């Protein structure tokens, strides 16, 4: 298998990029970091599976969503061994990439995030995503969500550059996004004033001090630092309609991040046949890899090529939908297939 990987690396068609969702340079960098954590010793009876193959198996699983049985035919490694390799490598990747997601530590750092949004005093966009999985054993309706599937929730805060600023995974799917948020570390830090947010300041041309906020949808409660749209329908050109469009065109950043995540890591295309604990680990790996690849000089254009992200005009109208939307639509019909067969 090592020889096949070597051939794939030198293949000029870019197949390696599609195979792993990253450049050869970043693959080698990750291999160097995780090798001490995932390498095994040879035994008198058999040679250990090399760290390079272990990493390739895991990245291919995340990128394609192929079953362990399908990966067995590709890598010539038994599906039972692959079921052990994938969580082990994901845990190692989470350890070496943990610094890819960090909350700003001071007001000046938070203000840098404001520059990425057109909405005034916005420090990030927040939402929850259901990660669908098989029904956990003896769990009843604990993980059963309103979409009639079993899931855990990924709660995320993202910046204007489509990177995760905060991510918490593992809440049961039956809990609403607002409920997940109020049980999160982010909410606890907010309530205890430990986020070190900037002090309220007047908006341009105004004198009244206004707090800095995170943008969310109607599933979240309106608080001092959480801004949501006005409920209901509003006529064109009314103040509430204009406000909602302005908010939505900035909040859509989190939708784009979730869309990119699901389209590039196709492990989310169908229910994960894993326990909630392993699903949590694998989801966090994808979140960390997202930030790593978005910030990478050599992999950013591979992971999110031009046209991937939504484009809005100055009037907050959608000009060009991101390419991830077409892939997610295809994924939705595929998910329905798996749900009802």
Q: CB atoms < 10 A from the CB of 210, how many?
A: 12
The model's confidence at residue 168, banded by pLDDT at 50, 70 and 90, is very high
- Tell me if 134 sits within 8 A of 116, measured CB to CB: no
Q: Percentages helix, strand, coil for the chain, rounded to the nearest 5?
A: 50, 15, 40
| CA 221 to chain centroid | 23
Q: Which residue has the higher pLDDT, 315 or 169?
A: 169
Q: Using one digit for the tens of pLDDT, what is the confidence trace for 1-33?
A: 556 566 555 555 567 888 889 999 999 999 999
What's the pLDDT score for residue 340? Answer: 43
Mean pLDDT of 145-171: 95
Q: Which two tokens mark 269?
A: 């295309």
The per-residue DSSP string of 203-254 comes to PTT--SEE--EEE--TTSPPBTTEE-PPSS---TTSHHHHHHHHHHHHHHHH
Distance separating alpha carbons of residues 56 and 45, to the nearest angstrom: 24
| This prediction's pTM | 0.91
> What are the start-end ranges of the H helices in 107-207?
107-114, 177-182, 185-191
Calpha distance 266→174 (Å, rounded): 24
Residue 99 has pLDDT above 60, yes or no: yes
Q: What is the pLDDT of residues 173-212, one digit of tens each?
A: 999 999 999 999 999 999 999 999 999 999 888 999 999 9
Sequence-ordered list of residues with C-beta below 8 angstroms from that of 1, at least 6 positions apart, any chain: 53, 56, 75, 76, 77
Closest to 62 in 3D by CA, of 328, 332, 287, 298: 287
Write down the pLDDT at residue 79: 94
Q: Compute the mean pLDDT over every residue in the chain, rounded to the nearest whole number.
A: 89
Q: Which two tokens stand for residue 179?
A: 């409920």
The domain spans of the chain are 2-96, 100-340
Of 84-93, 101-110, 111-120, 320-329, minimum mean pLDDT range:
320-329
pLDDT at 341 over 70: no
Q: Looking at residue 61, what is its pLDDT?
A: 96
Following DSSP, what letter does each residue of 48-110 receive, concatenated? Answer: PPPHHHHHHHHHHHHHH---HHHHHHHH---HHHHHHHHHHHHHHHHHHSGGGS----SHHHH
pLDDT higher than 80, residue 329: no
Sole residue written with tokens 């406000």: 243
Closest C-alpha among 167, 147, 146 to residue 101: 167
- The predicted-structure confidence for 267-305, as pLDDT tens digits, reads as follows 999 999 999 999 999 999 999 999 999 999 999 999 999
- Please report the pLDDT score of residue 161 as a whole number: 94
Percent of the chain with pLDDT over 70: 92
Q: What pLDDT does 330 receive?
A: 47
Average pLDDT over residues 145-172: 95
Q: How confident is the model at residue 337 (pLDDT cuts 50, 70, 90)?
A: very low
What's residue 129's pLDDT? 95
- pLDDT of 326 reads 83
CB atoms within 10 A of CB 211: 14
């Amino acid at each position: 298998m090592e020889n096949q990987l070597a051939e794939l690396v030198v293949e000029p068609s870019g197949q390696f990029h599609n195979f792993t969702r990253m450049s050869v340079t970043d693959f080698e960098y990750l291999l160097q970091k995780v090798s001490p954590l995932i390498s095994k010793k040879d035994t008198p009876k058999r040679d250990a599976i090399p760290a390079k193959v272990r990493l390739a198996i895991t990245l291919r699983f995340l990128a394609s969503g192929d079953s362990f049985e399908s990966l067995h035919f590709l890598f010539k490694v038994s599906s039972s061994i692959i079921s052990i390799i994938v969580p082990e490598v994901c845990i190692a990747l989470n350890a070496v990439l943990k610094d890819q997601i960090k909350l700003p530590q001071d007001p000046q750092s938070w203000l840098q995030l404001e520059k990425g949004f057109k909405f005034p005093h916005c420090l990030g966009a927040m939402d929850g995503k259901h990660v669908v999985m098989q029904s956990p054993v003896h769990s009843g309706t604990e993980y059963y969500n309103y979409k009639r599937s079993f899931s855990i929730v990924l709660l995320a805060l993202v910046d204007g550059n489509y990177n995760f600023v905060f991510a918490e995974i593992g809440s049961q799917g039956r809990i609403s996004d607002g409920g997940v948020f109020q049980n999160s570390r982010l909410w606890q830090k907010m309530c205890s004033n430990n986020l070190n947010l900037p002090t309220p300041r007047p908006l341009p041309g105004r004198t009244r001090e206004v707090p800095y906020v995170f943008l969310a949808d109607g599933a979240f409660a309106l608080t001092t630092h959480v801004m949501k749209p006005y409920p209901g329908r509003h006529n064109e050109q009314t103040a509430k309609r204009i406000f909602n469009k302005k908010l939505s065109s900035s909040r859509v950043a989190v939708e784009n991040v979730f869309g990119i995540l699901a389209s590039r890591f196709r492990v989310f295309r169908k229910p994960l046949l894993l326990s909630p604990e392993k699903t949590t680990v694998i989801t966090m790996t994808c979140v960390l890899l997202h930030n790593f690849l978005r910030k990478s000089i050599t992999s950013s254009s591979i992971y999110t090529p031009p046209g991937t992200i939504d484009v809005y005009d100055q009037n907050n109208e959608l000009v060009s939908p991101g390419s991830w939307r077409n892939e997610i639509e295809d994924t939705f019909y595929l998910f329905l297939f798996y749900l009802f067969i």
